[in-house]
């Protein structure tokens, strides 16, 4: 019987020669080294490509249109186009808006008549929100048929107590006005631009200059003070704006020009001669007293003080006077505000 050959499972060792050849083989270069070798072989081609891109970019820049230099003709054309196609607020409107929130209505009361008015009981309301007419009197519905701001005779309504104007000069509630607005008043009530009302007290007076400073006991949020300018820059013919509460109506705005400087005015009682006044022709009536006279930059340059009327009407005929803001500051001992 034929014998089967038996084989060992032990792996055969490699020949020593093969190990020697493997040890003698050089190591394979890294990826970075191979990349640099590749770039070195193609260096001329890369340089050419870079020069081509640079040349293309230079040509692109040179072919771009050059910006046109801005000239005065271009500026004039742009301004003219804006004026023709957009309505802009007038100079006087901008000046009045600059001080609008700083102008206040001042009401003076003898004794406590103002408090009595505020504490009066409210009238009962009728079925549809109207007011029930008083026996033998007129209903509120009938009263609404009258023109606004007029009484039965068609005239401006009479105010309870004296009414004047003022301008906030310090945002803590310090207000500049005329002395004759607060003279004789036992109680002062100030109404601000947003309708907020507060009692006020007098803190300084200068009767011979017809000036007074009052301070509100409480103020609305974010109360702005007016920007004060200089009357030394004024000249006859300059535009000015008067803002105030004529006959308690307002704030009302009127515009005009400076008619003259360094004027004098004798008070109705003949007790005081006011000097260094600004004469202006912006409409002013009783109630404008104490309000600001404003230049076209929105700066207060004077305090409306008086109007001249040769008749007994006491209304405006074209001549008004304002104390300069410099005189107002020195008179009340608060320069330069």
According to DSSP, residue 246 is labeled G
The predicted pLDDT at position 144 comes to 34
Q: Where does residue 176 rank: exposed (0-12), middle (13-18), buried (19+ CB within 10 A)?
A: buried
- The reply to whether 289 belongs to the active site is yes
Catalytic entry in 165, 254, 289, 327: 289
Give the whole-angstrom CA distance, residue 103 versus residue 47. 77
- Do the beta carbons of residue 247 and residue 287 sit within 8 Å? yes
268 found inside a domain: yes
Q: Domain residues for 259?
A: 231-331
Q: How far is CA 116 from the centre of its chain?
A: 37
pLDDT tens over the chain, length 337 residues: 556 555 556 566 665 555 555 555 566 667 777 766 766 666 677 777 787 888 888 877 777 777 778 788 878 888 888 777 777 788 999 999 999 999 999 999 987 555 544 443 333 333 333 333 333 444 333 333 333 344 444 444 444 458 999 999 999 999 999 999 999 899 999 999 999 999 999 998 988 889 999 999 999 999 999 999 999 989 999 999 999 999 999 899 999 999 999 999 887 655 778 889 999 999 999 999 999 999 999 999 999 999 988 777 778 889 999 999 988 877 566 554 4
Q: What is the pLDDT of residues 203-218, one digit of tens each?
A: 989 888 899 999 999 9
CA distance 11 to 140: 124
Q: Which residues contact 125 (CB under 8 A, 6 or more apart)?
A: 131, 132
Name the domain count of the chain: 1
Name the catalytic one among 165, 180, 281, 327: 180
| Domain-embedded: residue 210 | no
In a domain, 176, yes or no: no
pLDDT digits (tens, 9 = 90+) for 253-288: 999 999 999 999 887 655 778 889 999 999 999 999
Instruction: Provide the token pair at 58.
Output: 């230079």
CATH number at residue 309: 2.40.10.10
Q: Is residue 244 in some structural domain?
A: yes
List helix spans (H) across the chain.
16-24, 31-41, 43-63, 72-85, 91-99, 113-118, 140-144, 179-182, 325-331
pTM: 0.64
DSSP three-state, residue 85 = helix
Tell me whether residue 210 is one of the annotated catalytic residues.
Answer: yes
Q: What are phi and psi of 295, to 5 degrees?
A: -85, 180
Domain-embedded: residue 304: yes
**266 domain-assigned:** yes
Is 172 a member of any domain? no
Tell me the sheet residues that pair with 239: 257
74 part of the active site: no
> Which one is catalytic: 162, 165, 210, 281?
210
* Position 284 in a domain: yes
């Amino acid at each position: 019987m034929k014998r089967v050959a038996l084989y060992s499972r032990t792996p055969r060792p490699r020949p020593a020669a093969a190990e020697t050849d493997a040890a003698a083989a050089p190591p394979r270069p890294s990826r970075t080294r191979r990349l640099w070798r590749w770039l070195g072989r193609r260096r001329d081609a890369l340089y050419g490509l870079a020069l081509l891109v640079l040349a293309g970019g230079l040509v692109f820049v040179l072919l771009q249109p050059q910006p046109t230099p801005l000239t005065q003709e271009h500026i004039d054309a742009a301004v003219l186009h804006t004026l023709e196609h957009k309505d802009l607020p007038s100079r006087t409107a901008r000046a009045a808006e600059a001080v609008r929130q700083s102008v206040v209505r001042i009401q003076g009361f003898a004794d406590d008549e103002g408090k009595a008015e505020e504490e009066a009981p409210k009238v009962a309301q009728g079925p549809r929100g109207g007011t029930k007419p008083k026996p033998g009197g007129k209903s509120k519905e009938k009263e609404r048929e009258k023109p606004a701001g007029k009484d039965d005779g068609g005239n401006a309504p009479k105010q309870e107590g004296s009414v004047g104007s003022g301008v906030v000069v310090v945002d803590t509630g310090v207000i500049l006005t005329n002395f004759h607005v607060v003279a004789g008043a036992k109680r002062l009530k100030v109404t601000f631009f947003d309708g907020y009302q507060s009692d006020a007290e007098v803190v300084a007076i200068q009767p011979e200059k017809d000036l007074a400073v009052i301070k509100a006991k409480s103020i609305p949020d974010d109360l702005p003070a007016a920007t004060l300018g200089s009357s030394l820059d004024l000249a006859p013919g300059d535009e000015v704006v008067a803002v105030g509460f004529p006959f308690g109506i307002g704030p009302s705005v009127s515009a005009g020009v400076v008619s003259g400087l360094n004027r004098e005015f004798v008070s109705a009682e003949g007790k005081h001669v006011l000097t260094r006044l600004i004469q202006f022709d912006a409409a002013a009536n009783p109630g404008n007293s104490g309000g600001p006279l404003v230049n076209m930059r929105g700066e207060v340059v004077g305090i409306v003080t008086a109007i001249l009327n040769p008749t007994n009407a006491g209304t405006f005929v074209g001549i008004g006077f304002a104390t300069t803001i410099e005189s107002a500051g020195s008179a009340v001992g608060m320069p330069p505000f």
